[in-house]
Homo-oligomer: A and B are copies of this chain.
Amino acid sequence: MKTHTESEENYIKALYHLGGEQPVSNGDLAQRIGAKGSSVTQAVKRLGQKDLVNVVPYKGVQLTPQGIRLAKSILRKHRLWETFLVDKLGFGWDEVHPLAEQLEHIQSEELVDRMFQFLGSPKHDPHGDPIPERDGQMPPVLGQPIGAFTAGVEIRIVRVEDAGSEFFDQLDTMNINLGNTYKIRAISAFDSSVELGSSTGSFWLSQSMCANIYAIQS
Protein backbone atom coordinates (compact mmCIF):
# COMPACT_ATOMS: atom_id res chain seq x y z
CA MET A 1 0.00 0.00 0.00
CA LYS A 2 1.51 3.27 -1.17
CA THR A 3 2.18 6.17 1.13
CA HIS A 4 0.27 9.43 0.97
CA THR A 5 0.87 12.99 2.06
CA GLU A 6 -0.95 14.45 5.00
CA SER A 7 -2.83 16.80 2.71
CA GLU A 8 -4.00 13.95 0.50
CA GLU A 9 -5.19 12.01 3.50
CA ASN A 10 -7.10 15.01 4.78
CA TYR A 11 -8.90 15.35 1.47
CA ILE A 12 -9.83 11.67 1.52
CA LYS A 13 -11.09 11.96 5.06
CA ALA A 14 -13.12 15.06 4.22
CA LEU A 15 -14.66 13.34 1.22
CA TYR A 16 -15.67 10.37 3.33
CA HIS A 17 -17.10 12.59 6.01
CA LEU A 18 -19.13 14.69 3.58
CA GLY A 19 -20.35 12.15 1.09
CA GLY A 20 -19.38 8.68 2.20
CA GLU A 21 -19.47 6.78 -1.06
CA GLN A 22 -21.53 9.53 -2.74
CA PRO A 23 -20.10 12.40 -4.83
CA VAL A 24 -19.23 15.68 -3.13
CA SER A 25 -19.26 19.17 -4.61
CA ASN A 26 -16.14 21.23 -4.99
CA GLY A 27 -17.57 23.93 -2.76
CA ASP A 28 -18.49 21.66 0.12
CA LEU A 29 -15.07 20.07 0.01
CA ALA A 30 -13.35 23.46 -0.08
CA GLN A 31 -15.34 24.58 2.94
CA ARG A 32 -14.55 21.46 4.92
CA ILE A 33 -10.83 21.52 4.08
CA GLY A 34 -10.57 25.25 4.64
CA ALA A 35 -9.05 26.02 1.25
CA LYS A 36 -10.21 27.90 -1.83
CA GLY A 37 -12.10 26.18 -4.60
CA SER A 38 -9.24 26.54 -7.03
CA SER A 39 -6.91 24.71 -4.68
CA VAL A 40 -9.43 21.93 -4.31
CA THR A 41 -9.81 21.55 -8.07
CA GLN A 42 -6.08 20.89 -8.37
CA ALA A 43 -5.91 18.68 -5.33
CA VAL A 44 -8.66 16.34 -6.48
CA LYS A 45 -7.02 16.17 -9.90
CA ARG A 46 -3.94 14.77 -8.19
CA LEU A 47 -6.05 12.34 -6.19
CA GLY A 48 -7.71 11.26 -9.40
CA GLN A 49 -4.39 10.35 -10.95
CA LYS A 50 -3.75 8.08 -8.00
CA ASP A 51 -7.13 6.41 -8.46
CA LEU A 52 -8.34 7.48 -5.05
CA VAL A 53 -11.25 9.48 -6.47
CA ASN A 54 -13.27 9.89 -9.65
CA VAL A 55 -13.64 13.46 -10.79
CA VAL A 56 -16.39 14.68 -13.12
CA PRO A 57 -15.61 18.35 -13.86
CA TYR A 58 -18.33 20.71 -12.70
CA LYS A 59 -20.20 17.75 -11.25
CA GLY A 60 -18.38 16.46 -8.22
CA VAL A 61 -15.77 14.15 -6.74
CA GLN A 62 -16.38 10.62 -5.52
CA LEU A 63 -14.16 8.22 -3.64
CA THR A 64 -13.15 5.05 -5.47
CA PRO A 65 -13.18 1.73 -3.62
CA GLN A 66 -9.47 2.35 -2.99
CA GLY A 67 -10.26 5.78 -1.61
CA ILE A 68 -12.93 4.38 0.65
CA ARG A 69 -10.53 1.81 1.98
CA LEU A 70 -7.99 4.52 2.73
CA ALA A 71 -10.62 6.75 4.36
CA LYS A 72 -11.65 3.97 6.69
CA SER A 73 -8.09 3.15 7.64
CA ILE A 74 -7.48 6.77 8.59
CA LEU A 75 -10.72 6.88 10.55
CA ARG A 76 -9.69 3.68 12.32
CA LYS A 77 -6.43 5.26 13.37
CA HIS A 78 -8.11 8.50 14.41
CA ARG A 79 -10.58 6.76 16.67
CA LEU A 80 -8.08 4.33 18.12
CA TRP A 81 -5.81 7.22 19.03
CA GLU A 82 -8.70 9.06 20.65
CA THR A 83 -9.46 5.97 22.65
CA PHE A 84 -5.84 5.70 23.72
CA LEU A 85 -5.64 9.33 24.74
CA VAL A 86 -8.76 9.13 26.87
CA ASP A 87 -8.50 5.60 28.28
CA LYS A 88 -4.76 5.43 28.89
CA LEU A 89 -3.51 8.99 29.21
CA GLY A 90 -6.52 10.49 30.92
CA PHE A 91 -7.32 13.24 28.44
CA GLY A 92 -10.85 14.60 28.41
CA TRP A 93 -13.02 13.49 25.50
CA ASP A 94 -13.34 17.10 24.48
CA GLU A 95 -9.58 17.55 24.08
CA VAL A 96 -8.50 14.62 21.96
CA HIS A 97 -9.79 15.40 18.51
CA PRO A 98 -7.08 17.85 17.39
CA LEU A 99 -4.35 15.55 18.63
CA ALA A 100 -5.90 12.59 16.83
CA GLU A 101 -5.87 14.66 13.65
CA GLN A 102 -2.10 14.61 13.85
CA LEU A 103 -1.70 11.04 15.02
CA GLU A 104 -4.04 9.59 12.39
CA HIS A 105 -1.33 10.18 9.78
CA ILE A 106 1.30 7.97 11.39
CA GLN A 107 2.02 5.12 9.02
CA SER A 108 2.40 1.68 10.47
CA GLU A 109 0.03 -1.25 10.21
CA GLU A 110 1.91 -2.93 13.01
CA LEU A 111 1.39 0.03 15.32
CA VAL A 112 -2.33 0.11 14.64
CA ASP A 113 -2.70 -3.60 15.30
CA ARG A 114 -0.77 -3.46 18.54
CA MET A 115 -2.62 -0.37 19.70
CA PHE A 116 -5.93 -2.08 18.96
CA GLN A 117 -4.87 -5.01 21.13
CA PHE A 118 -3.49 -2.78 23.85
CA LEU A 119 -6.83 -0.99 24.06
CA GLY A 120 -8.77 -4.24 24.33
CA SER A 121 -10.16 -4.43 20.79
CA PRO A 122 -12.55 -1.51 21.21
CA LYS A 123 -15.57 -1.21 18.91
CA HIS A 124 -16.30 2.44 19.66
CA ASP A 125 -14.27 5.53 20.49
CA PRO A 126 -14.70 7.87 23.49
CA HIS A 127 -17.55 9.69 21.74
CA GLY A 128 -19.32 6.45 20.92
CA ASP A 129 -18.38 6.52 17.23
CA PRO A 130 -17.72 3.16 15.61
CA ILE A 131 -14.08 2.21 15.00
CA PRO A 132 -13.71 0.61 11.56
CA GLU A 133 -12.31 -2.90 11.76
CA ARG A 134 -9.06 -4.02 10.21
CA ASP A 135 -10.92 -5.26 7.12
CA GLY A 136 -13.06 -2.14 6.73
CA GLN A 137 -16.22 -3.46 8.36
CA MET A 138 -18.04 -0.90 10.45
CA PRO A 139 -19.43 -1.68 13.89
CA PRO A 140 -22.99 -0.42 14.37
CA VAL A 141 -23.65 3.30 14.75
CA LEU A 142 -25.17 3.40 18.20
CA GLY A 143 -28.26 5.07 19.57
CA GLN A 144 -30.97 7.51 18.62
CA PRO A 145 -31.28 11.19 19.49
CA ILE A 146 -32.69 11.59 22.96
CA GLY A 147 -35.74 13.35 21.59
CA ALA A 148 -36.76 10.20 19.76
CA PHE A 149 -37.73 8.35 22.94
CA THR A 150 -41.02 8.52 24.77
CA ALA A 151 -41.68 9.51 28.34
CA GLY A 152 -41.15 6.79 30.93
CA VAL A 153 -38.36 5.00 29.11
CA GLU A 154 -34.97 4.19 30.70
CA ILE A 155 -32.07 5.21 28.48
CA ARG A 156 -28.28 5.01 28.44
CA ILE A 157 -26.09 7.59 26.69
CA VAL A 158 -23.97 5.83 24.08
CA ARG A 159 -22.80 8.53 21.68
CA VAL A 160 -22.42 12.28 21.26
CA GLU A 161 -21.97 14.37 18.15
CA ASP A 162 -18.80 16.43 17.83
CA ALA A 163 -20.67 19.72 18.03
CA GLY A 164 -17.86 21.98 19.16
CA SER A 165 -16.18 22.86 22.43
CA GLU A 166 -19.14 24.80 23.84
CA PHE A 167 -21.26 21.68 23.50
CA PHE A 168 -18.67 19.64 25.37
CA ASP A 169 -18.42 22.32 28.04
CA GLN A 170 -22.15 22.11 28.50
CA LEU A 171 -22.04 18.34 28.80
CA ASP A 172 -19.27 18.77 31.33
CA THR A 173 -21.10 21.27 33.51
CA MET A 174 -24.22 19.10 33.39
CA ASN A 175 -22.11 16.06 34.24
CA ILE A 176 -23.32 14.10 31.27
CA ASN A 177 -21.06 11.23 30.17
CA LEU A 178 -21.13 8.14 28.01
CA GLY A 179 -22.70 5.29 29.96
CA ASN A 180 -24.90 7.49 32.11
CA THR A 181 -28.47 6.23 32.50
CA TYR A 182 -31.59 8.32 32.91
CA LYS A 183 -35.32 8.03 32.84
CA ILE A 184 -37.20 10.15 30.33
CA ARG A 185 -39.54 12.06 32.59
CA ALA A 186 -41.19 14.32 30.06
CA ILE A 187 -40.90 15.81 26.62
CA SER A 188 -42.08 19.37 26.16
CA ALA A 189 -44.77 19.79 23.53
CA PHE A 190 -43.75 23.44 23.33
CA ASP A 191 -39.99 23.37 22.51
CA SER A 192 -39.14 19.65 22.38
CA SER A 193 -36.84 19.91 25.37
CA VAL A 194 -36.60 16.78 27.51
CA GLU A 195 -36.68 16.22 31.24
CA LEU A 196 -34.26 13.54 32.38
CA GLY A 197 -34.28 11.92 35.78
CA SER A 198 -31.45 10.19 37.60
CA SER A 199 -30.78 9.04 41.14
CA THR A 200 -29.54 12.51 42.03
CA GLY A 201 -32.51 14.45 40.73
CA SER A 202 -33.85 15.62 37.41
CA PHE A 203 -33.14 18.36 34.89
CA TRP A 204 -34.23 19.70 31.52
CA LEU A 205 -32.20 19.35 28.33
CA SER A 206 -32.74 21.76 25.44
CA GLN A 207 -33.74 20.50 22.04
CA SER A 208 -30.32 21.50 20.66
CA MET A 209 -28.54 19.50 23.31
CA CYS A 210 -30.81 16.50 22.79
CA ALA A 211 -30.19 16.50 19.06
CA ASN A 212 -26.50 15.84 19.66
CA ILE A 213 -26.83 13.18 22.33
CA TYR A 214 -27.65 9.61 21.38
CA ALA A 215 -28.95 6.87 23.64
CA ILE A 216 -30.34 3.36 23.64
CA GLN A 217 -33.22 1.98 25.65
CA SER A 218 -32.08 0.08 28.70
Which residues on B sit within 8 Å (CB–CB) of A115?
89
62-110 of chain A: CB within 8 A of chain B: 85, 88-91, 95, 99, 102-103, 106-108, 110
The reply on A118 being an interface residue by CB < 8 A is: yes
Which residues on B sit within 8 Å (CB–CB) of A110?
91, 95
The reply on A176 being an interface residue by CB < 8 A is: no
The one of B88, B90, B107, B118 in contact with A102, judged by C-beta atoms closer than 8 angstroms, is B107
- The distance in angstroms between the C-alpha atoms of A95 and B113, with both chains bound, is 15
Which residues on B sit within 8 Å (CB–CB) of A90?
114
Tell me whether A106 and B108 are in contact in the complex, defined as CB-CB below 8 angstroms, given that A89-B118, A90-B114, A91-B114 are known contacts.
no
147-194 of chain A: CB within 8 A of chain B: none
The reply on A111 being an interface residue by CB < 8 A is: yes
The one of B95, B102, B111, B118 in contact with A106, judged by C-beta atoms closer than 8 angstroms, is B102
- The distance in angstroms between the C-alpha atoms of A107 and B103, with both chains bound, is 10
Residue of B nearest to A88 (CB): B118
- The distance in angstroms between the C-alpha atoms of A17 and B118, with both chains bound, is 33
Q: Are A89 and B102 in contact (CB under 8 A)?
A: no
Rounded to whole Å, the gap between the CB of A83 and the closest CB of chain B is 14
- A residues near B, CB below 8 A? 85, 88-91, 95, 99, 102-103, 106-108, 110-111, 114-115, 118
17 contacts between A and B (CB under 8 A): A85-B111, A88-B118, A89-B111, A89-B114, A89-B115, A89-B118, A90-B114, A91-B110, A91-B114, A95-B110, A99-B106, A99-B108, A99-B111, A102-B106, A102-B107, A102-B108, A103-B106
* Besides the known contacts A89-B111, A99-B108, 7 further A-B residue pairs in the complex with CB atoms under 8 A apart: A89-B114, A91-B114, A95-B110, A99-B106, A102-B106, A102-B107, A102-B108
Which 3 A-B pairs give the minimum distances between C-beta atoms?
Answer: A89-B114, A102-B106, A99-B108
